[in-house]
Amino acid sequence: MTERALPASNWSPRPYQRKLWTYLENGGARAYEVAHRRWGKDDVALHWAAVSAMQRVGNYWHMLPEASQAKKAIWNAVNPHTGRRRIDEAFPDWMVKTRNEQEMFIRFINGSTWQVVGSDNFNSLVGSTPIGIVFSEWALANPSAWAFMSPILMENGGWAMFITTPRGRNHAKTFFDAMRKEDDWFCEVSNVEQTGRFTPEQLAKERRSLIAQYGEDDGGAKYEQEYDCSFDAAIQGSYYGKIMKALDEQGRLGDVPHNPALPVITAWDLGIGDSTVIWCVQQVGGEVRVIDCIASSGVGIDWYVRELGKRPYTFKQHIVPHDAENSELGTGLRRIDTMRSLGMKPVRVLPRSSIEDGINAARALLPRCRIDRTNCSRGIDALEQYRRVWDDANKCFRDRPLHDWASDYADAFRYLAVGLRDREEDKPKARAAARPQFVGAGGGWMGV
């Protein structure tokens, strides 16, 4: 007779995992585990999802930052000690009714379902109303995912588990600091010194390996993040990480109130499948005060116009990228015409330029900025997270940015930087062509 026990595959929590597992077994519904690499975060999450799915019929998600990475990271991930897929160990055949490899979807014998999804496309999945969600690698995920899903879990009495290693002082850090003060949340940081998972010799070898692979700065930062669980380590491949850290140390990320006496300049990244992001700034001499950051997705330009209309701002200019000249699907109208028809004036369309030029402009602009930490919290996180693509085959960073939730905010900031750098009124006026003058008999014509 086949043994039908959960957790399956003779799995049991390691000693340093027991506090989290006990909290969940006792009915805990909000858990946040910051843990080092190879701690077993996803293993705990998978086995708890299996137990939950059999205890309560419903839909369960394992959410990665990007849907495109989910197949390798979770669905096809193999336990090196057993040679079996981790999902097959957590969800044995006896509890599975059907599997959909393409959709990374499992239906269990009691009607519950489990699926791997991405925080970059959670909007398209909300109809399935999950009652249990694992936010894996939360530090790299779209922070809007929790704001969107929290009311659903609160209404249906569902649970949420956040598992991650740090990636700078971003939303994962601020969220952890806030939730650890809540009595009903389980919040824990588990670094290698606390767990004893590796020997000092193994850790020293791993540090040397990371430095050899990523270089002294990035390799050391990666070790601090993934083994020491440090939120203060720099983000590898970040375009603006060091600048943002310097702004924070200088006190330039804080309270930056709107000045009613000054006009506001906005810079837009107009998304279609992605988010639309708007930065709002005021200028005082050479200083740029970033007072607001507005972002959403799945809504029309009219929504953003209404949001701006709720603010007590007097607008000087709206900076938009070159693709604002493109026509919208369905209406055939250019987006810039839609903006103008809704009262957004004056609108300035930037010429097409390279991403590298925009990044350099942003690097030059940021040290002159003061950024409001409350109104621009997501934007600050995004600027810290905006980073280059890692080429795992060649073990180096590529000279192009990673496209994720942070890139929408960073793109809008690039347009702001280019727009402020290349303002029309700052361009030197072309000298009027001088008319030739006749200088007298025998002198001929002379151009002046």
Cis peptide upstream of residue 7 (ω within 30 degrees of 0): yes
Q: Domain 15-195, what architecture? A: 3-Layer(aba) Sandwich (3.40)
pLDDT 10s digit of each residue in the chain, 448 long?
A: 356 889 999 999 999 999 999 999 999 999 999 999 999 999 999 999 999 999 999 999 999 998 888 888 999 999 888 899 999 999 999 999 999 999 999 999 999 999 999 887 766 665 578 999 999 999 999 888 898 899 999 999 999 999 999 988 889 999 999 999 999 999 999 999 999 999 999 999 999 999 998 888 888 888 999 999 999 887 888 899 889 989 999 999 999 999 999 999 999 999 765 689 999 999 999 999 999 999 998 888 899 999 999 999 999 999 999 988 877 655 678 888 989 999 988 999 999 999 999 999 999 999 999 999 999 999 999 999 899 987 767 767 788 998 888 999 999 999 999 999 987 445 544 444 444 343 333 333 333 2
Q: Structural domain boundaries of the chain?
A: 15-195, 200-236, 248-425
Cis peptide upstream of residue 346 (ω within 30 degrees of 0): yes
- 248-425 maps to which CATH number? 3.30.420.280
Write the pLDDT tens digit of every residue in 314-345: 999 999 999 888 776 556 788 889 899 999 88
Write the pLDDT tens digit of every residue in 277-301: 999 999 999 999 999 999 998 888 8
